Structure 1
């Protein structure tokens, strides 16, 4: 934007006015001088604002402009023992594509009830709405219908849902929900796939609210299935209300499609999900986790002012022991050889481990639609239910923000994904990169 005024032109304007006013009577001259002074100050303020707007704004990209880092140099950087200084190794653009070696699925995690403990599986069915039974249920406030997460109630991670598949059951099996021993809450079981007769008796809530933005429908789970005649007659909502200390409901996702939000890379995204935060799948790699561990350990051991992180327990985190379960991914990869390689993948295909030839099946094709921006939930210890004051969130802020163009202030770990169809994914399946994103990733 061009600025027509300058401080020099304003000074000339002021001087000419002063010369003219000297010829006026004293009273008129004083009045005009006061008026012109106010006008001059207003124009000077306007000029200052316009000049600031006219300056080119530095665009934050999380990448050092013009610097392209090949993977081999990146690997050399990672071997550098200078821990904290090396935490910023990824503030450079990667040259893509690069060799990702033999990438395999190393872990599959399903979280049946949102924010409760997950289960590790050897294989899982999937649909475009995610892994089977993943975030199919959630817990809501009985009065406001707000979906509760471990961000607010950290001890939710100690509730353990366990999937028991039974082909002979009219419900396809049970979801068995248990609690810590000291909670005095009894275990209960609910149907994996309720019959239509059951659902007809379950109240449906149309406005389960997520992040005060998304409205999702859900059935209030009102029946249990238990072969033990001495089991509790209380409903799941009553048992959970005791655990939470207030009235809550266990809810199963209803029939109405819940649309996923668009992303920076896919503004016209048309996908649906269940009770996941945003998207059907979250993927991450073991190499990325190892880098987070290394940086956490570096910050815990470096006592220099530059490495100061408020609230970090140096003894607790000197070994960097962050578990992948804290990040709650669905599909974990191993074998890329480069941390955060998944940031650079736009589209991948997961081939069966025993397949002799690569398949072109779109139902096995996953599109990575955005990086996953993180909140404080990964700070919750999945074994104790306590929230750490610093790890991993404050450490991620040091080297993993400015990565997502839509939310530059948030740190990133893992990527959100959608899939082209239905199928089965197994631990050991091979990952092929079909399309790469730019050097700053998806």
Structure 2
């Protein structure tokens, strides 16, 4: 098996980037999900409810990021000294406000009040102790430092989606884009679809990881990453084939047991 793709997402729930390599930190990939968009109460705003967020492209720019989108001129973000508290699934996390210009830029994109915030200290947020160790940390991802998917599992899901469409007399759809699932690492050559369900430890290049939990999927996977239009797939088909505990599942969450650089083409070994 080998590492086929590496993705990072500078601002949570906005467009991501495919990279040839990435630095693994204890809390995730170095440039991954250090920023997020919140409302006036500190609740995250995401593409689940606001698909237009996927039109926002955030690129690392020295010690900060530069935003671009279809609605305004690009903006280089300048964090302030003002603190906010963001609520991430019950985790109250202290973050740094990125100023009124960034807030106005995001509000214009979303058509509602919004502020951009930065996790200045990525060691601040612990992983759920039910799945991690006392010193495990996570940035602003939903729950875990990295998400892994495999091309074998996506191929099987595509087959199921086409079967569902055929049974319903619908036009056969194009294959699903892996970007819908917002992985950090995509493994090629896994052989059996969903083999990753049983992985507990693995090595990518020279970095070892724990696979601590399957990833339950939400409606964001139903948003086309290019058109921002919501549909029924893949949730409709996952509900037929990959549903248990009241949720649907695709991919596995990883916690690093070391740091280093991972690169496209690196060998992937289950330990």
Give the TM interval when normalised to the shorter protein.
over 0.9
1:346-367 CA distance string (max 9 Å, x none): 0001225xxxxxxxxxxx1100
The aligned residue for residue 29 of structure 2 is: 131
**In 2, distance between residues paired with 1:178 and 1:190?**
11
1:165-219 CA distance string (max 9 Å, x none): xxxxxxx355221112xx3x2211236xxxxxxx6x42011x21123x1111111
- The alpha-carbon deviation at position 269 of structure 1 amounts to 6.0
Distance change in 2, residues 1:238/1:421 (3 Å): same
Partner of residue 15 from structure 2, selected from 117, 133, 154: 117
Higher helix share: 1
Radius of gyration: which is bigger?
Answer: 1
**In 2, distance between residues paired with 1:302 and 1:320?**
16
Structure 2 stretches lacking a partner, 5+ long: none
TM-score (norm 1): 0.59
**In 2, distance between residues paired with 1:114 and 1:411?**
21
The aligned residue for residue 233 of structure 2 is: 391
Aligned length: 270
TM-score (norm 2): 0.94
RCO higher in structure (CA 8 A, sep ≥6) = 2
Distance change in 2, residues 1:334/1:269 (3 Å): farther
> RMSD of the TM alignment (CA)?
1.8
Matches within 5 A, 1:25-424: 103-141=1-39, 143-164=40-61, 172=62, 174-180=64-70, 183=71, 185-190=72-77, 201-205=80-84, 207-211=85-89, 213-222=90-99, 235-255=101-121, 257-263=124-130, 266=131, 270-303=135-168, 314-315=170-171, 318-351=172-205, 364-388=207-231, 390-402=232-244, 408-424=245-261
Contact in 2 for aligned 1:204/1:254 (Cα 8 Å): no
Structure 1 stretches lacking a partner, 5+ long: 1-102, 165-171, 192-198, 223-233, 305-313, 353-363, 403-407, 435-442
Task: State the 4+ residue runs in structure 1 displaced beyond 6 angstroms.
Answer: none
**In 1, distance between residues paired with 2:59 and 2:133?**
36
